[in-house]
Structure 1
Amino acid sequence: MSNLTPPNLTGEIEQRRARAQAWFESLQQRICAELERLEDEAPAELYPEPAGRFEMRPWTRETGVGGGIGGYFKGRLFEKACVHTSAATSRFSPEMAATMPGADKDPSYVSASISLIVHPRSPRAPTVHLNTRFLSTAVSWFGGGADLTPMLPEQRSQDADDAVLFHRAMQAACDAFDPEWYGRYKAWCDEYFYLPHRKEPRGVGGIFYDRHDSGDFERDFAFTQAVGEAFLEVYPKIVRHRMDEPWTEEDRQAQLVQRGRYVEFNLLYDRGTTFGLKAGGNIETILSSMPPMVSWP
């Protein structure tokens, strides 16, 4: 706990943050349970190791007020998975406040979020990322999204089966609120998850949105919940479809190289990594998106 003056934020905003935090923590529990269920279902002939289980580690912020619950997993089907929640009451640094809506006069803010990364052991199953968050200064908004990163070249097309299924789920989440949102947030995702130095996308995309504020908190909160529900519905379907497929050593090497692209993006371009480190977040959870094994040719 620091000696920072508590942010001057209204009770309504605190209530909104509490609701968002409760939702993210509930979603965390459900996602962890589903990943453990998949771990148990994995065929023993391909995954002979014992099934893994999540280790939940609460943590406390070193600056401001708050903390979170870090969920860490190593298993046989999922080589590494992390599902984290966090909540904060703090102040932006002058540098960060200058870039945040509503923080120019008062840098106080509250936030709540869920963030996850799943790295399957099988090269046939894609890596996936989800992050959704609520943040409020003098104004409030939601942000986040979900994106899919297949490991093998033949799967890295938006016309490939897994990509089509994933995008269909994200589109349904968007279309329930506004038919224009999917096209806008898909394009933003394609632009954001791109490696300029390699001139290639990180994966097959999904949706990405930030500073989402339609003026109707309930509608925007419901949309962010729908994104989480869509993820929980579609990703297990993809894994169940892929986890029975055998793979070769060549496939494994292709996976390790593609994971290297993931590392490059997260360390060079990812806004969440930058924000978390600058805002005094938990370094262990921020950098847990790194894959367990990786290779550069």
Structure 2
Amino acid sequence: MTKTDLETRKIRASTWFRALQEDICARFEALEDAAGPPLYSGPAGRFELTEWTRGDGTEDLGGGRMGLMRGRVFEKVGVHFSLVHGTFSEAFAAQIPGADKSDGRFWASGISLIAHPRNPHVPSAHMNTRMLVTSDSWFGGGGDLNPLLAYQRDPAFEDSVDFHAAMKAACDSYAGADFTEMRDHCDTYFHLPHRNEPRGTGGIFYDRFNTGDWEDDFAFTQEVGRQFAGAYPEIVARRMNQAWSEAEREEQLIQRGRYVEFNLLYDRGTTFGLKTGGNVTSILSSMPPVVKWP
């Protein structure tokens, strides 16, 4: 593959991730518009989109566009686009395939999303897709659902069944994407070993995905984004008008603590962002706005 071909691929991937950010933000704002009394009050939320640059400005190291919203339906939601490049630290480069042959140089672009709805009946959700280049290139990402009330944390509950069906539909479209393998990877990865419990009801997770057919791999990664953008807003719309009690709100806030614990202790995306000089506000926007450890 020529350098020109690689640069074209980078442009295509980063353009898609930025467009997906815009699409999802629009869908979430439509849900804000649809919410109203008696459960919701105040103005409909709107995303605040903030461009940011990486580094001290003395050289071009990329950056991104942070999208944050606090609204009626979404107590806090972040939908972020990034496009960064530079050199890994020597210690971190040793953990990244191909970094030894690229002198630690890397390029990465992607979208990262975490939604924390106000209504305890509406599951939280996470999604990210990305492309990373060293001396090699690959895609990674996935999506998972995080119900906050006990009655919803059964994998057979309607919301999880529909979410898994959407992720399976993405996988079934591409021969190199094995849904069972990616589902199991998700369950293994999004697990809290110190509590011996899952973070949520899963979805799919894939890392260092490179079948040798870049076009197919890119198309699959796009389909993961499309399926999430279709399935999750439908789940939100289904649940957002259910009334909730103070006890359910309390349960929601306690369960959110599991999300915090995972992201700060185990999440590789958080580690990657912080160790490559990413936007700290954007990276830690995954934290819920209110949480309890009783």
The question of a shared fold, defined as TM-score above 0.5 by the shorter chain, is answered with yes
Q: Does 1:296 align with 2:286?
A: no
Q: Where does the alignment leave 5 or more consecutive residues of structure 2 unmatched?
A: none
Q: How many pairs were matched up? A: 289
1:188 corresponds to which of 185, 189, 192: 185
Give the superposition deviation at 1:95: 1.2
Instruction: Provide Cα deviations, 1:65-117, integer angstroms capped at 9, x if missing partner.
Output: 10000001000111001100000121111112112111113211111110011
| TM superposition score normalised by structure 2 | 0.96
Kindly report which structure 2 residues correspond to 1:1-297, keeping only aligned pairs within 5 A, or say none: 10-62=3-55, 65-106=61-102, 107-178=104-175, 181-297=178-294
- Give the Cα–Cα distance (whole angstroms) in 1 for the partners of residues 15 and 180 of structure 2: 29
Work out the CA distance in 1 between the residues paired with 2:68 and 2:146.
Answer: 20
Unaligned residue ranges in structure 1 (runs of 5+): 1-8
**Contact 2:186 2:204 survives alignment (8 Å):** yes
Name the aligned partner's letter for residue 282 of structure 1: N
Opposite residue 16 of structure 1, the aligned amino acid is R
The one-letter amino acid of 2:63's match is G
Aligned equivalent of 1:4: none
Cα displacement (A) at 1:10: 2.6
User: Secondary structure, in 3 states, of the residue corresponding to 1:214?
Assistant: coil
1:179: Cα distance to partner?
A: 7.7
Distance 1:156 1:13 in 2: 43
Provide the identity percentage.
Answer: 56
SS at match of 2:83: strand
Which residue of structure 2 lines up, in the alignment, with residue 6 of structure 1? none
- 88-97 vs 65-74, which moves further: 88-97
CA distance in 1 between counterparts of 2:107 and 2:290 reads 35
Q: Distance in 1 between matches of 2:16 and 2:293?
A: 39
Alpha-carbon separation, structure 2, partners of 1:252 and 1:57 = 31
Q: Contact 1:13/1:136 (CA < 8 Å) preserved in 2?
A: no
Equivalent AA in structure 1 for residue 260 of structure 2: V
RMSD value, Cα: 1.2
Q: Structure 2: how far apart are the matches of 1:12 and 1:276?
A: 27
